[in-house]
Amino acid sequence: MAKIPPEVIKKAERMFRRGKSQAEIARSLNVSYKTVRAWRKKYDWQGEVKKGPPKGNRNAAGAPGNPHPNPPPDRTVHGAYSKVYLDALSDEEKDLLLEIPMDEEDMLIEQIQVFYIRERRILKAIRKYMEAKEPLVPSDVIRTEERRSFNDPKDEVKYENMMAKKVEAGVMLPGKPYSIQTRMTNKDTIIIRLETELSTVQRSKTRSIEALARLRAEKARVEGEKAGDSAVDEWLASVLEVDANG
């Protein structure tokens, strides 16, 4: 694979900072979506963050026409909402939140990718059960273990000491006994269940692909209208210039 010039990566970063989605950058630069995503993580791109409405906007704090010139305090600051929620997350989950794409197209693409992975896993499981030689296959395994409760910690220590002496005397074997119960199911039943799940995943994948196609078609329509408006404006300006000089 040919090495991508550094100036292309710089251009991609500038596009990202201007608010372009990773999918838009990938199409514009003729590279894969995964490549752009890898660049963003490797070079730690940070997109522009717009805080609040533009200056002079009707909804800006204190602007004319704003029904609430003094906005209420942010209730998430003291932790009654977001803090309690974030505290319940691990560091890995917090990092994952930062990786969630905010662009609708990026979210749909990731969703479709997950559906493809789930589809492949289910197909591999179906193949495994179809290749099984026996009609009955293990479907569930249950392990049970006997436990002894004590009202006094001293009784537990006494019990452990007595058991250790029995093991040393050869009266009993070391270790704790447990039993395993295996439930068997006809492999055809499991295959039918997996095929039902496969159909559900494939329907969801199809809906996501259709949603992505509609979103891209709408973006293309809007971009086409903008390009058309620009061409009309240029034509109108040239006509007016001719009239003014004529």
| Neighbour-count burial for 209-232, b at 16+ CB within 10 Å, e otherwise | eebbeeeeeeeeeeeeeeeeeeee
Residue 243 inside a domain? The answer is no
**Is the sign of the CA dihedral 162, 167, 173, 174 positive or negative?**
positive
**Residue 119 in domain:** no
Domain count, the chain: 1
Report the distance separating Cα 22 and Cα 115, nearest Å.
20
| Cα first-last separation, the chain | 58
Which bin fits 47, alpha (ψ -120 to 50), beta or left (φ > 0)?
beta
Whether the CB-CB separation of 63 and 56 falls below 8 Å is answered with yes
CA distance readout (Å), 210 to 112, 139, 165, 196: 10, 36, 71, 21
What is the C-alpha separation between 178 and 188, in angstroms, rounded? 31
Q: Is 233 exposed, middle or buried (0-12, 13-18, 19+ CB in 10 A)?
A: exposed
| pLDDT reported for residue 147 | 84
Question: Chain centroid to CA 85: how far?
Answer: 18
- For the stretch 103-114, pLDDT in tens is 788 888 889 999
Residues of the chain with pLDDT under 70: 1-2, 47-87, 94-102, 225-246
User: What's the CATH code of the domain at 19?
Assistant: 1.10.10
Does a structural domain hold residue 181?
Answer: no
Listed residue (19, 48, 25, 47) closest to 37, CA to CA: 25
Q: Which pLDDT does position 50 carry in this prediction? A: 47
According to the model, what pLDDT value does residue 70 have? 52
- The DSSP 8-state label assigned to residue 226 in this structure reads H
- Please give the pLDDT value at position 114: 92
Residue 23's domain comprises: 1-44
In a domain, 18, yes or no: yes
* Residue 36 placed within a domain: yes
Of residues 205, 237, 238, 9, the one with CA closest to residue 123: 205
- Tell whether 232 is covered by a domain: no
89 lies in some domain: no
- Which tokens sit at 19? 């608010």
Asked if residue 196 is part of any domain, the answer here is: no
Helix (H, G, I), strand (E, B) or coil at 145: strand
Q: Which residue has the tokens 């404006």?
A: 233
